[in-house]
Amino acid sequence: SKEIPLDEEDKWENSEYFSSYGQLKLHSEMLTDVPRTSTYSLAIQSALPWLQDKVVLDVGSGTGILSLFCARYGKPKKVYAVEASDIAVYSRETVSKNGYEDVIEVIQGNINDISLPHHQVDWIISEWMGTLLLFEFMIESVINARDKFLKPDGMIWPSEAELFLIPCSALSAYNGSMGIWKDVYGFDFSPYLSLAADTLTGKPIYNHTLSPDECLSEPFTILQLNMKTVTVSQLEDIRTAYDFLVKRSGMLHGFASYFTVHFSHLPHPHTPVTLSTSPQSKPTHWKQDLLLLDSPLQLEEGQRLKGTIKLTRHKLWRRHLRVTLTYSVWEDDTELNEAVTKIYRLWR
Amino acid sequence: SKEIPLDEEDKWENSEYFSSYGQLKLHSEMLTDVPRTSTYSLAIQSALPWLQDKVVLDVGSGTGILSLFCARYGKPKKVYAVEASDIAVYSRETVSKNGYEDVIEVIQGNINDISLPHHQVDWIISEWMGTLLLFEFMIESVINARDKFLKPDGMIWPSEAELFLIPCSALSAYNGSMGIWKDVYGFDFSPYLSLAADTLTGKPIYNHTLSPDECLSEPFTILQLNMKTVTVSQLEDIRTAYDFLVKRSGMLHGFASYFTVHFSHLPHPHTPVTLSTSPQSKPTHWKQDLLLLDSPLQLEEGQRLKGTIKLTRHKLWRRHLRVTLTYSVWEDDTELNEAVTKIYRLWR
Ligand SMILES: [Ca+2]
Ligand SMILES: [Ca+2]
């Protein structure tokens, strides 16, 4: 309850969080996510020869794959692989097994607590993205690492991140959550509708696969982060107004979100590398996130869908956030419905 | 730890168990599982006109769908829908909404604790099947309900259940769990192998979809239950020897299991109704269960795969069980490898 004061450990639920990242299944999923892992590999290869003799910090290094890419391709002076979960023990062994124990030092600990033999680093690399880009707020560890360890002219990768919103059809997801209750084998199950709106559509569906032809408009950029300058306080309360032009008539069941991250700002010419989780890109383990409406809306080409989206970080549970979505449909200068507001929780 | 004595509530983890079944997502999945739900509907329709004026007990009635089928088709005297989770509140409202409040009485409670206005019932119906048929041991509630409430000449549905085992190829599941570590983008990740054998293949993969052409032999029946006579003590420790004739050469990555349940013993002629989760049947939300080996084995047509399977219910955590699988390959009268034993936990 909100009345009970929590200590820092509780607020971050670190023992829960790091024990889940101590589980190998998650790492197996991330490693076998080829668009994710090979994009990091390609990006690191684009950083040569700048990487030579540099000191690198890999924040939340997991199995150590990003550190190993750096060591293999880049001749860095040192790579610090910082990982709080028990997977650190295995990643240290893997570093040795592959002959990189002189280059990569695995440090098991929380980035906020540790110190580094090299007090400053040239480069921070991390894979911190989650549901709705921000969920679990691992990004705060990366920002803290930057403020604590990165040289003023150092680089941070990803260098930029963007979060997109797009109105979409999602018939089978809608039916599985809301549509089903109207007629269950001929019975009226509508008493479950309020519970469904609270518990099923009340949080984002984070394992949704959107097909490009279900998108009813071009995406809207609801958040743009420069990783070199973004501050933690900027992430506490994010508000954006959006205005979608409907490109394709169809049923609006919800809004999908996805993100891109970029690997740029190298001091030498290079091919810009981007990792995207858009429905047009190769599927990643993030898939897309879906914010389902309680009631679908028929949209016609040429109408506009206007509203606001708020991402509010939970004040108490620091890894959680809420999305508040307000929307209405416009034709020319007429608002066709009263604006609807719905709140989605991840997870509190 | 095993040293600490647990009370009954702990052993069954009922608050955890019933709160998960209080979640609507699970019920939505079960209701939209057409082979499951429509088979129950068909079976109930095959029970007419025997159902007329009978007293029915629906054990773990969830959303109430089975009770509603009985009420709609069968003209029963009374249906008691007993459900321990909070979903009971919504199912009571749904019963009224559909005009069956005089026939169906929803009772929120644990079957072991409640009493019924009719002390005895003619018919028990339930959907209690889980991973490896038995996991979560809801079957014990059904057996207890039978011993407590069923008339000596009463019926219980499902009337029989069978659990099958089948040796199979499962390349991508194997690679995701064990195969991946040998070569991760050219790195040797073998230090993760022991952890993978403990945590990834050390429990059944319960959401596996086996295709019929991955089956290397005919299935073997490892358990057959007559629901009218089975006792709880018979489920504590189940051991079977198996002997598979290899019908198709291929890589053995593991053993899949699936189950069937039957709806029979009606006192009038009827079409026997069966629900099967075999790879040949229409996919259900149970899919198949997969017990992965740590190392695959090449099998050749005509060889035999012999061994034993044990299902040992956890002495302390009453919803959990362990599978102990021992296997070796035979050609004619020669054992080609030393017998391998592997233990799978669900989940303790
Ligand atoms: Ca992540
Ligand atoms: Ca079940």
Residues A280-322 pLDDT 10s: 999 999 999 999 999 999 999 999 999 999 999 999 999 999 9
Confidence of residue A170 (pLDDT cuts 50, 70, 90): very high
Ligand 1 centroid distance, CA of A131 (Å): 8
pLDDT at A243 > cutoff 70: yes
Residues A39-70 pLDDT 10s: 999 999 999 999 999 999 999 999 999 999 99
Phi, psi (rounded to 5 degrees) for B140: -65, -35
Nearest-CB residue to B184 (from A24, A29, A31) = A31
Would you say the pTM of this structure is higher than 0.90? Answer: yes
CB atoms within 10 A of CB A155: 24
* A94:B192 CB<8 A: yes
Q: Which two tokens stand for residue A146?
A: 């930057």
Confidence of residue B327 (pLDDT cuts 50, 70, 90): very high
Contacts of B98 (CB under 8 A, 6+ apart): A187, A188, B68
pLDDT at B168 > cutoff 90: yes
**Whole-angstrom Cα distance, residue B115 to residue B55?**
14
Ligand nearest to the CA of B286: 2
Percent composition of chain B: helix, strand, coil (DSSP 3-state, to 5): 25, 35, 35
Nearest-CB residue to B199 (from A24, A41, A98) = A24
Residues of A in contact with B72 (CB under 8 A): 186-187
Interval B322-332 mean pLDDT: 97
Q: Tell me which H or E stretch contains A190.
A: none
pLDDT of residue A135: 95
Q: Quote the percentage of chain A above a pLDDT of 70.
A: 97
Confidence of residue B1 (pLDDT cuts 50, 70, 90): very low
Confidence of residue A1 (pLDDT cuts 50, 70, 90): very low
Residues B251-280 pLDDT 10s: 999 999 999 999 999 999 998 999 999 999
| Chain A touched by B81 (CB under 8 Å) | no
> How high does pLDDT run on average in chain A?
94
Nearest-CB residue to B185 (from A41, A185, A188) = A41
pLDDT of residue A22: 66
Confidence of residue B6 (pLDDT cuts 50, 70, 90): low
Confidence of residue A2 (pLDDT cuts 50, 70, 90): very low
Interval A314-332 mean pLDDT: 95
Ligand 2 centroid distance, CA of B130 (Å): 5
Search chain B and give the residue with CA nearest A194.
B90
Residues of B in contact with A38 (CB under 8 A): 185
Buried b (16+ CB within 10 A) or exposed e, A270-285: beebebbbbbeeeebb
Sequence letter at residue B21: Y
Residues of A in contact with B68 (CB under 8 A): 185, 187
pLDDT of residue B195: 92
Distance from CA of B130 to the nearest CA of A (A): 21
- With H, G, I as helix, E, B as strand and everything else as coil, classify residue B248: coil
Residues B27-40 pLDDT 10s: 999 999 999 999 99
Q: Which two tokens stand for residue A346?
A: 């991840």
Q: Which of B44, B195, B208 to mutate to test the interface with A (most CBs of A within 10 A)?
A: B195
Residues B182-240 pLDDT 10s: 999 999 999 999 999 988 899 999 989 999 999 999 999 999 999 999 999 999 999 99
Ligand 2 centroid distance, CA of B128 (Å): 5
Ligand nearest to the CA of A127: 1
Q: In sequence order, what are the beta bridge partners of B78?
A: B55
> How high does pLDDT run on average in chain B?
95
Interval A161-189 mean pLDDT: 97
Q: How far is CA A62 from CA A86, A89, A92, A162, in A?
A: 9, 10, 10, 23
Q: Which two tokens stand for residue B193?
A: 């192998």
> Tokens 């979809």 appear where?
B209
Q: Quote the percentage of chain B above a pLDDT of 70.
A: 97
**Do B190 and B182 form a contact (C-beta atoms < 8 A)?**
yes
Interval B292-306 mean pLDDT: 97
H helices of B215-260, in order, are none
Parallel/antiparallel/unpaired status of strands B321-331 and B304-313? antiparallel
Q: Which two tokens stand for residue B219?
A: 């299935």
* B37:A191 CB<8 A: no
pLDDT at B84 > cutoff 60: yes
Interval B79-83 mean pLDDT: 98
Confidence of residue A3 (pLDDT cuts 50, 70, 90): very low
Residues A189-226 pLDDT 10s: 999 999 999 888 999 999 899 999 999 999 999 999 99
* B176:A90 CB<8 A: no
pLDDT of residue B15: 81
* B184:A41 CB<8 A: no
pLDDT at B5 > cutoff 70: no
CA–centroid distance for B301 within its chain: 31
Contacts of B117 (CB under 8 A, 6+ apart): B78, B105
| Chain B touched by A37 (CB under 8 Å) | yes
| Chain A touched by B188 (CB under 8 Å) | yes
What length does chain A have?
348
The angle, 0 to 180 degrees and rounded to 10, between the axes of the packed helices B87-97 and B65-74 is 20
Distance from CA of B185 to the nearest CA of A (A): 8
10 Å CB burial of residue B148 (0-12, 13-18, 19+) is middle
* B185:A69 CB<8 A: yes
pLDDT of residue A198: 87
CB atoms within 10 A of CB A335: 12
Q: What is the DSSP string of A56-70?
A: EEEET-TTSHHHHHH
Q: Which of B192, B199, B292, B347 to mutate to test the interface with A (most CBs of A within 10 A)?
A: B192
Distance from CA of A238 to the nearest CA of B (A): 30
Distance from CA of B190 to the nearest CA of A (A): 7
Residues of B in contact with A32 (CB under 8 A): 175-176, 180
CA–centroid distance for B53 within its chain: 31
pLDDT of residue B304: 98
How many CB contacts within 8 angstroms connect chain A with chain B? 97
Ligand 1 centroid distance, CA of A260 (Å): 13
Q: Minimal CA–CA distance to B236: which of B310, B162, B308, B307?
A: B310
